[in-house]
């Protein structure tokens, strides 16, 4: 510092802090050799406290207002300096302005997953994040325990320490609550209050008061969320057998709208629908509890039925290409829908070659089926 700065410092007798930042908690007033003139003017604005420090010892504190510094309003500093009869010359002291306003939207989150034991899913790893708000409760204590001699102390310098306390207490709260993971989203307020009650006494020990504690999200690992989504989808679908038949019906409708491959597409859709529908139906029947036998099986049966005999499979030639195999029931539906004609060329296992559909005994009856009886004559 040059001679001009020293001379300038001698004439400055107004001590104040106009805070232009959003994250500064403590700011030290800059003064040449920390000299303050007798009768200097001290201005403390709203949401500020000015603390005088002498040789590392916290002395007097001034609340919002305008003061003229004399021995009368510096009793602790006067005692530390040993001024018995007042003073007229400049004295050395550090002046720290402490912001008493509320600092909001301070973030916290788990760096590593927290292991919990869930009653429904067993051991799980969860993550959580949120925000909190704080303010200085005791400026002298905060300056002594945390800020020290730092000329400008911001929320970033303390946020890491506070975040670690929050995460630790959050882990304890989750473990002691025994709330299922799927129900945690409905208990964010309860968690927030519980954590606030646990951590606020620890923050008070360093002169800080936590005014708000919020949990924004509790999440599961990505792999677990994918499995949970599948489980949710199954619950929404409900009856898988009916859902499969519905999908097969949609496939048949889309195939019928395709002129190029309508017959083959319809056959494939109906075949898959019948096969999967039968499999699903059998599976659900076998998984039902039979009260007559006390075992798993379809109601009204002594037990699980033996496997059915293999179904006859048929192929049909469409535009020089074979389509299939289809079960007999699918062929019958295709005949009734007009998609399989009497002269359509078909083949099944055991036939020497391809033949017209109406030459197969099991299919001929459907082509030669008599028309239904005429409606009765109208009543006279």
**What local confidence, expressed as pLDDT, does residue 48 receive?**
93
Query: Which residue, among 60, 70, 64, has the nearest Cα to 40 in the 3D structure?
Result: 70
374 in a structural domain: no
Q: What is the pLDDT along the chain (380 residues), one digit of tens a residue?
A: 454 444 444 445 788 998 888 889 999 888 766 678 778 889 999 999 999 888 778 888 899 999 988 777 777 777 767 665 566 667 778 899 999 999 988 888 888 888 888 877 788 888 888 888 999 999 999 888 887 777 888 888 888 878 888 888 888 877 777 788 878 878 888 888 888 888 888 889 889 999 988 888 888 878 877 877 777 776 666 555 666 666 666 666 666 666 555 445 445 445 555 555 555 555 545 555 555 555 555 554 555 677 776 777 888 888 878 887 888 888 788 887 777 888 888 888 888 888 888 888 888 878 776 666 777 777 75
Contacts 24+ apart (CB under 8 A), 294-303: none
Q: Does the predicted model carry a pTM greater than 0.75? A: no
92 lies in the same domain as 185:
no
275 lies in the same domain as 339:
yes
220 lies in the same domain as 130:
yes
76 lies in the same domain as 163:
no
Task: Say how many domains are in the chain.
Answer: 3
91 lies in the same domain as 110:
no
**What is the CA angle 155-15-29, rounded to 5?**
40
The residue out of 47, 75, 99 marking a domain boundary is 99
The residue out of 224, 250, 268 marking a domain boundary is 224
**What local confidence, expressed as pLDDT, does residue 9 receive?**
45
The residue out of 99, 114, 133 marking a domain boundary is 99
The label of the residue with tokens 């360093």 reads: 206
Domain range for 18 is 3-99
* 130: CATH: 3.30.479.30
250 lies in the same domain as 347:
yes
182 lies in the same domain as 263:
no
């Amino acid at each position: 510092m040059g001679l001009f700065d020293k001379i300038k410092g001698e004439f400055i007798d107004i001590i104040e802090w106009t805070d232009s930042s959003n994250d500064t908690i403590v700011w030290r007033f800059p003064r040449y050799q920390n000299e303050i003139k007798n009768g200097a003017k001290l201005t403390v604005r709203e949401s500020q406290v000015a603390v005088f420090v002498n040789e590392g010892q916290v002395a007097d504190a001034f609340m919002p207002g305008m003061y003229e510094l004399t021995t009368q309003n510096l009793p602790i500093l006067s005692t530390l300096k040993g001024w018995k009869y007042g003073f007229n010359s400049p004295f050395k002291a550090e002046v720290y302005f402490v912001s008493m306003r509320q600092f909001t939207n301070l973030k916290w989150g788990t760096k590593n997953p927290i292991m919990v034991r869930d009653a429904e899913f067993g051991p799980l790893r969860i993550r959580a994040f949120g925000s909190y708000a704080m303010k200085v409760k005791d400026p002298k204590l905060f300056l002594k325990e945390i800020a020290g001699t730092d000329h400008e102390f911001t929320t970033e310098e303390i946020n890491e320490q506070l975040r670690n306390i929050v995460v630790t207490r959050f882990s304890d709260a989750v473990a002691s609550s025994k709330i299922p993971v799927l129900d945690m989203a409905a208990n964010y307020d309860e968690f927030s209050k519980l954590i606030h009650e646990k951590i606020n006494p620890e923050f008070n020990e360093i002169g800080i008061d936590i005014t708000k504690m919020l949990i924004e999200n509790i999440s599961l690992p990505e792999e677990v969320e994918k499995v949970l989504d599948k489980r949710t989808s199954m619950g929404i679908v409900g009856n898988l057998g009916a859902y499969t038949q519905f999908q097969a019906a949609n496939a048949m409708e889309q195939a019928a709208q395709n002129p190029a491959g309508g017959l083959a597409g319809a056959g494939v859709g109906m075949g898959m629908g019948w096969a999967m529908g039968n499999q699903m139906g059998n599976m659900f029947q076998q998984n039902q509890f039979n009260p007559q036998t006390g075992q798993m099986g379809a109601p009204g049966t002594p037990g699980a039925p033996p496997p059915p005999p293999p179904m006859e499979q048929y192929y049909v030639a469409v535009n020089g290409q074979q389509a299939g195999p289809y079960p007999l029931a699918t062929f019958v539906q295709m005949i009734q829908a007009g998609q399989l004609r009497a002269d359509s060329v078909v083949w099944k296992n055991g036939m020497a070659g391809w033949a017209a559909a109406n030459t197969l005994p099991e299919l001929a009856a459907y082509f030669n089926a008599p028309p239904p009886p005429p409606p009765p004559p109208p009543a006279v």
